């Protein structure tokens, strides 16, 4: 069994397709290593190996064609039967900062992408300042 | 081993929540020696800046890490002085009666839906901070509407104390906005302003107001005009230069409490660890359960303004029993159990002694201590008339993005159904517009993420779906005024005790037809507001969603607790049907006062903290008079 396919780089790449967030946005949370380690801990080495091998194959055969990658993800990673549900869990971890109902860390709570998606901020952190709520949220263009 | 404390104090207070803290501050600053017993941990009482900061950061971290961010989630829940926790609420069924999952023993038929916090600062650590006054008509529910009872005091009598409460809490608001049924600028003194200007109404409020302001709705054949007004609240904003009061002080000569005049601009009260932190609400959007910068008022801000030379605080001290003199009926001491450390089963018993005693331990704990001691109950009203606002929620999607999850929990309310002839038929309500999406009823946004992901959505489609839905979420509250019912009550039962051998409260609770009809009425109004705003209704009621589920005329409704625990030792004009008089003194014991929401004979539609604080100042004044005469 070849373990070198299980890498945080691949984890980051597939996370971009699973979450709809760019590499820069995901790296900007500072959570990549933490989350990658959560998956190393929660899933068996065999399952992780097969999952990452499948990811490598999807990325290779699609050669950057987004529609093709998305179709392959839907068919081969998203079903609950695929790799103990690793793909769906990757999405949930990035969006919520939780593993199941457990908050991974104080940082993961604050970095949950769902607050950004809601154009808000995690309650109790990253507070936008007095009176900000009376106006439209400020958006920083990402493209 | 029972020990007697050697010192004797002027006043012994049980509990450091807002009522106890107002008393401790007012009495010590008037030169009285006070002993304060607090059941919670010493760490929460730290007043040196470093320790206070460290402890509060620990609360914040605990909140971040809590999987369910319920009101008590940041705070220690210790077995020696357990808090009521909403996570323990479960349906009461034939095979699960009573429900004993949490601290409360819930005998039903419906579970009581609210929590409170036993610890330094009490429930003000997690209160939302809305501070509307009660309406003049709220004080005469029996006379005007044939419901409940009248208060032994009028709105006018309470007015000066309301001003003290608004000063103490540091209310931000606009008096001119406070218009509605039985509610106008007349309810405030001439030229009166709040200490700080109104908290800006949210963008979401503005979107809703556009199509809701002056909307005509029909209810049971009558037409009503909906209005939306800014909500006064206990969080820091821009000082109002027209506000001219400093703090409340004891005017010994006049034998009354007065607000001192101030020629300087009002200064917001900052965090307990740093007066310069929290001078403005910073929009953390986490008022419940915790304001990270303490721009929101909490009772520790009041307590630390006590005269330290005259205040002795004993923490980890759980009041367990009150002793009386058999002949005079006067209170002779309060027994308390001081546990050694968090969750310890080891404790010492001691007796606190003073000239006057005050229970400020929360409505449910006050009643429990009185029932345990078998005192103050010649009226048989102790523990009875437990009330809360029964909060019916409705939620839907706005046609446009209004960007919830920002700002304080609520900045605008609809006062239209706070008063009217309909109170003869069904409960009145206040309708806050909520700023925090569907988080309360369905745990958004986490639940939206998980349901989209489990449906197979991922990638950019998932991101854009969530970005379309979450910013359009709207939640309305209908906080219905529960009327007093002697069978909604706190009792004790030797079967149910905690690890310090103190009773756990047994709660008997139900929703009357009068309440259920208000759910029907509120839903009819909600439907018309939703229709006018083009809101797609996603409201769904079920017992699985929330154990407080009732049916009325074939329709099911959920209600949620508001955290407004009221009425267990009612105030009244005669000792036959009430526990305390209008000065909050027990009819049965001339040196025992009860303070807190337990005194309120009826609830009104306002969040009760402000009114309870006003009453606490009234009690402080009466105690000072009694001590000096």
Mean pLDDT of chain B: 97
Q: C-alpha distances in angstroms, B588 versus B160, B397, B599? A: 28, 55, 15
Average pLDDT in the B54-61 region? 98
CB burial of residue B544 (10 Å; 0-12, 13-18, 19+): exposed
- Which positions in chain A touch B460 (Cβ < 8 Å)? 20
Q: Give phi and psi for B73, each to the nearest 5.
A: -60, -30
Mean pLDDT of chain A: 95
Of B219, B29, B23, the C-alpha closest to B619 is: B23
Contact A132 B202 (CB under 8 A): no
Of B101, B43, B112, the C-alpha closest to B567 is: B112
Identify the pLDDT of residue B240: 98
**Smallest Cβ distance to B201: which of A114, A118, A134?**
A134
Contact B466 A131 (CB under 8 A): no
B418 with B181: CB under 8 angstroms?
Answer: yes
Residues sharing a CB contact under 8 Å with residue B234, sequence separation 6 or more, in sequence order: B127, B129, B130, B131, B169, B170, B171, B172, B296, B297, B609, B610
- Tens digit of each residue's pLDDT (9 = 90 or more) over B265-291: 999 999 999 999 999 999 999 999 999
Quick check: B583 pLDDT over 60?
yes
- Tens digit of each residue's pLDDT (9 = 90 or more) over B379-409: 999 999 999 999 999 999 999 999 999 999 9
Buried b (16+ CB within 10 A) or exposed e, B83-114: bbbbebbebbeeeeebbbebbbbbbbebbbbb
- Tens digit of each residue's pLDDT (9 = 90 or more) over B472-503: 999 999 999 999 999 999 999 999 999 999 99
Of B573, B609, B471, the C-alpha closest to B139 is: B573
Buried b (16+ CB within 10 A) or exposed e, B329-340: bebebbbbbbbe
> Is residue B82 in some structural domain?
yes
Identify the pLDDT of residue B5: 54
Residue B594 sits in a domain of what CATH number? Answer: 3.50.50.60
Contact B203 A96 (CB under 8 A): no
CA B565 to chain CA mean position, Å: 7
Residue with tokens 């402000």: B610
Tell me the sheet residues that pair with B259: B248
Residues sharing a CB contact under 8 Å with residue A4, sequence separation 6 or more, in sequence order: none
- Tens digit of each residue's pLDDT (9 = 90 or more) over A87-132: 999 999 999 999 999 999 999 999 999 999 999 999 999 999 999 9
Quote the Cα angle for B173-B177-B179, to 5°.
130
- Tens digit of each residue's pLDDT (9 = 90 or more) over B510-565: 999 999 999 999 999 999 999 999 999 999 999 999 999 999 999 999 999 999 99
Contact B458 A73 (CB under 8 A): yes
Residue with tokens 């806050």: B432
Residue with tokens 């036959």: B576
Q: What are the residue boundaries of the structural domains of chain A, listed by start?
A: 3-123
- Cα(B84)–Cα(B505) distance, integer angstroms: 10
> Is residue B594 in some structural domain?
yes
Identify the pLDDT of residue B210: 98
Q: Give phi and psi for A58, each to the nearest 5.
A: -60, -45
Of B53, B485, B84, B26, the C-alpha closest to B258 is: B26
- Cα(B568)–Cα(B408) distance, integer angstroms: 30
Interface residue ranges in chain A relative to chain B, Cβ cutoff 8 Å: 17-21, 70, 73-74, 78, 87-88, 91-92, 95-96, 98, 101-103, 105-106, 109-110, 114-115, 117-121, 123-125, 127-137
Element (H, E) at B212: helix B203-212
Substitution target from A67, A130, A137, A139 for chain B, most B beta carbons within 10 A: A130
> Is residue B134 in some structural domain?
yes
B333 with B534: CB under 8 angstroms?
Answer: no
Q: In the numeric block, which tokens belong to residue B457?
A: 């959505």
- Cα(A137)–Cα(B531) distance, integer angstroms: 26
B244 with B261: CB under 8 angstroms?
Answer: yes
Quick check: A142 pLDDT over 90?
no
> Is residue B320 in some structural domain?
yes
CB atoms within 10 A of CB B377: 19
| Domain tally, chain B | 1
Q: How confident is the model at residue A4 (pLDDT cuts 50, 70, 90)?
A: low
- Tens digit of each residue's pLDDT (9 = 90 or more) over B20-33: 999 999 999 999 99
Identify the pLDDT of residue A1: 46
- Which positions in chain A touch B67 (Cβ < 8 Å)? 98, 101-103
Closest chain A CA to residue B435: A133
Check residue B599 and report its DSSP letter.
G
Nearest-CA distance A13 → chain B (Å): 12
Sign of the C-alpha dihedral, residues A60, A65, A71, A73?
A: positive
Identify the pLDDT of residue A138: 87
- Tens digit of each residue's pLDDT (9 = 90 or more) over A53-74: 999 999 999 998 999 999 999 9
Average pLDDT in the B418-442 region? 98
Structural domain range at position B459: 7-628
Substitution target from A15, A91, A102, A124 for chain B, most B beta carbons within 10 A: A124
Closest chain B CA to residue A94: B449
Identify the pLDDT of residue A141: 64
Element (H, E) at B468: helix B459-469
- Cα(B619)–Cα(B583) distance, integer angstroms: 5
- Which positions in chain B touch A115 (Cβ < 8 Å)? 405, 445
Tell me the sheet residues that pair with B349: B2, B337
Of B627, B606, B608, B607, the C-alpha closest to B616 is: B608
B218 with B225: CB under 8 angstroms?
Answer: no
Q: How confident is the model at residue B133 (pLDDT cuts 50, 70, 90)?
A: very high
Identify the pLDDT of residue B3: 54
Sign of the C-alpha dihedral, residues B97, B98, B103, B104?
A: positive
Identify the pLDDT of residue B58: 98
Nearest-CA distance A81 → chain B (Å): 12
Classified as helix, coil or strand, B476 is strand
Q: How confident is the model at residue B1 (pLDDT cuts 50, 70, 90)?
A: very low
Of B269, B276, B323, B330, the C-alpha closest to B301 is: B269
Query: First vs last Cα of chain A: how many Å apart?
Result: 40
């Amino acid at each position: 069994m070849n373990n070198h396919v299980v890498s945080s780089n691949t984890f980051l790449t597939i996370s971009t397709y699973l979450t709809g967030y760019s590499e820069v946005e995901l790296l900007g949370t500072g959570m990549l290593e933490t989350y990658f380690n959560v998956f190393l801990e929660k899933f068996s080495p065999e399952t992780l190996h097969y999952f990452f091998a499948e990811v490598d194959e999807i990325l290779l055969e699609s050669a950057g064609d987004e529609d093709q990658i998305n179709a392959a993800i839907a068919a081969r990673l998203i079903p609950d039967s695929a790799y103990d549900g690793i793909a769906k869990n990757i999405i949930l971890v990035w969006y919520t900062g939780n593993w199941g109902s457990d908050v991974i860390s104080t940082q993961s709570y604050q970095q949950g992408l769902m607050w950004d998606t809601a154009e808000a901020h995690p309650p109790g952190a990253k507070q936008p300042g007095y009176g900000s709520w009376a106006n439209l949220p400020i958006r920083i263009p990402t493209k | 081993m029972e020990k007697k404390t050697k010192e004797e104090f002027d006043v012994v207070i049980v509990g450091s929540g807002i009522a106890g803290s107002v008393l401790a501050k007012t009495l010590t600053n008037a030169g009285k020696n006070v002993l304060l017993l607090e059941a919670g941990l010493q760490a929460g009482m730290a007043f040196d800046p470093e320790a206070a900061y460290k402890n509060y950061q620990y609360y914040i971290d605990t909140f971040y890490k809590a999987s369910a961010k319920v009101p008590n989630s940041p705070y220690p829940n210790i077995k020696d002085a357990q808090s009521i926790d909403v996570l323990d609420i479960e349906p009461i069924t034939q095979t699960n009666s009573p429900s004993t999952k949490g601290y409360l023993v819930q005998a039903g038929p419906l579970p009581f839906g609210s929590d409170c916090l036993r610890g330094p600062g009490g429930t003000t650590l997690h209160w939302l901070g809305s501070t509307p006054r009660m309406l003049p008509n709220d004080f005469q529910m029996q006379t005007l509407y044939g419901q409940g009872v009248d208060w032994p005091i009028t709105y006018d009598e309470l007015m000066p104390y309301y001003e003290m409460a608004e000063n103490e809490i540091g209310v931000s608001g606009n008096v001119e906005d406070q218009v509605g049924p039985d509610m106008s600028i007349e309810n405030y003194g001439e030229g009166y302003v709040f200490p700080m200007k109104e908290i800006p109404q949210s963008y979401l409020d503005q979107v809703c107001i556009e199509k809701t302001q002056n909307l005509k709705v029909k209810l049971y054949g009558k037409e009503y005009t909906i209005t939306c007004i800014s909500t006064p609240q206990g969080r820091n904003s821009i000082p109002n230069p027209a506000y001219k009061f400093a703090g409340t002080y004891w005017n010994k000569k006049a034998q009354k409490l007065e607000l001192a005049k101030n020629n300087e601009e009002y200064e917001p009260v900052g965090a307990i660890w740093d007066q310069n932190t929290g001078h403005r609400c910073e929009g953390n959007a986490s008022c419940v359960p915790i304001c990270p910068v303490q721009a929101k008022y909490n009772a520790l801000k009041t307590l630390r303004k006590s005269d330290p030379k005259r205040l002795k605080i004993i923490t980890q001290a759980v009041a367990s029993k009150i002793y009386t003199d058999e002949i005079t009926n006067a209170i002779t001491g309060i027994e308390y159990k001081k546990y050694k450390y968090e969750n310890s089963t080891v404790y010492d018993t001691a007796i606190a002694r003073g000239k006057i005693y005050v229970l400020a331990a929360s409505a449910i704990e006050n009643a429990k201590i009185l029932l345990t001691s078998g005192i103050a109950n010649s009226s048989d009203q102790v523990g009875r008339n437990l009330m809360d606002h029964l909060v019916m929620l409705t939620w839907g999607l706005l046609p446009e993005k209004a960007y919830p999850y920002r700002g304080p929990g609520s900045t605008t309310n609809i006062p239209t159904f706070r008063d009217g002839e309909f109170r003869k038929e069904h409960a009145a309500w206040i309708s806050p517009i909520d700023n925090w999406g569907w988080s309360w009823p369905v745990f958004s946004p986490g639940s939206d993420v998980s349901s989209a992901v489990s449906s197979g959505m991922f990638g950019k489609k998932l991101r854009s779906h969530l970005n379309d839905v979450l910013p359009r979420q709207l939640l309305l509250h209908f906080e219905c005024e529960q009327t007093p019912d002697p069978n909604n009550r706190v009792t004790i039962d030797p079967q149910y005790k905690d690890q310090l051998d103190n009773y756990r409260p047994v709660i008997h609770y139900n929703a009357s037809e009068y309440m259920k009809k208000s759910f029907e009425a509120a839903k009819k109004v909600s439907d018309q507001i939703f229709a006018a705003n083009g809101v797609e209704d996603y409201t769904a009621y079920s017992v699985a969603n929330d154990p407080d589920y009732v049916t009325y005329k074939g329709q099911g409704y959920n209600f949620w607790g508001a955290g407004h625990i009221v009425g267990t030792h009612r105030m009244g004009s005669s000792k036959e049907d009430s526990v305390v008089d209008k000065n909050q003194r027990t009819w049965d014991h001339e040196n025992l006062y009860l303070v807190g929401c337990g005194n309120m004979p009826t609830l009104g539609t306002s969040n009760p903290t402000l009114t309870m604080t006003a009453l606490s100042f009234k009690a402080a004044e009466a105690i000072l008079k009694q001590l000096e005469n």
